[in-house]
Amino acid sequence: MTKLENLLKGLVKENPLFVSVLGMCPSLAVTTSLENALGMGIGVLFVLVLSNFMVSLIMSSPKLAELVKPVRIPVYIVIIATLVSVVEMLMHAFLIDLYNALGVFIPLIVVNCIILGRAEAFASANKPVDSVLDGIGMALGFTAAISLISIFREFLGKGTITIWGDAVLNLKFFFNFLNIEPISMFVQPVGAFLSFGLILATLTAFGNFFKERKARKVKANG
């Protein structure tokens, strides 16, 4: 696998949320606004890239890897928990609004399956540079996925899209045109599951459509 493929695979082909269906709990909880999704994405990017790099660095030394192997899961957790604590303290000090909005879901990055999964499945068996690229790709794929869900939910639930701080797109004219109110259910927990299901079904349908078209082409060409 080339470095570019390594970077891009997390965006679509192996998207952690829509393909592997990992890290759903915080994803569904924070996607009430695009701002929250972007903030969560930045946090996950920081933690995933650095944890992948550190795990790969430790495991690339045969002697160290042999020592760490029996206690590798606690080692991964210590690394990830430290990075998450650093993110939490920095957010609390310098991005207080985002810190308040994300609340309990910042510490929960520690148990995000994507991060532990990439450490065990990829970083522990690959070189540091590849692991960093994998981390960037996976984090961007995760951010893109939760951003898509949050845009869908916030638009239908509030009629707005909060990009960051006061930068808010007001799209209520759409609801005014239809003479209805925004469907607040979509920013409630039930709306998170519905939105995730609808988006996943649509993406799967598209994926199947392209797969079938490709198969037909291959068949026609003999």
Give the interface with other proteins as residue ranges (CB under 8 A): 29-30, 32, 64, 67-71, 74-75, 78-79, 81-82, 85-86, 89-90, 92-94, 96, 100-101, 103-104, 107, 187-189
Q: CB 158 → other proteins: shortest distance, Å?
A: 13
CA dist list (Å): 125 to 31, 58, 63, 130: 33, 10, 14, 10
Q: Between residues 86 and 215, which has the closer beta carbon with respect to other proteins?
A: 86
CA distance 178 to 195: 21
Q: CB 154 → other proteins: shortest distance, Å?
A: 13
Q: Between residues 91 and 138, which has the closer beta carbon with respect to other proteins?
A: 91
Q: Between residues 34 and 75, which has the closer beta carbon with respect to other proteins?
A: 75
Q: CB 62 → other proteins: shortest distance, Å?
A: 14
Q: CB 30 → other proteins: shortest distance, Å?
A: 8
Residue 162 three-state SS? strand
Q: CB 98 → other proteins: shortest distance, Å?
A: 13
Q: CB 208 → other proteins: shortest distance, Å?
A: 34
Contact 44, 142 (CB under 8 A): yes
CA dist list (Å): 13 to 51, 101, 204: 22, 31, 12
Which amino acid is located at 122 in the chain?
Answer: F
> Under 8 Å CB-to-CB from 54, ≥6 apart: which residues?
79
| Residue 2: both structure tokens together | 């080339």
Q: Between residues 84 and 148, which has the closer beta carbon with respect to other proteins?
A: 84
Q: Between residues 100 and 208, which has the closer beta carbon with respect to other proteins?
A: 100
Q: Between residues 189 and 197, which has the closer beta carbon with respect to other proteins?
A: 189
Contact 44, 100 (CB under 8 A): no
Torsion angle (degrees, nearest 10) of CA 42, 47, 52, 58: 150
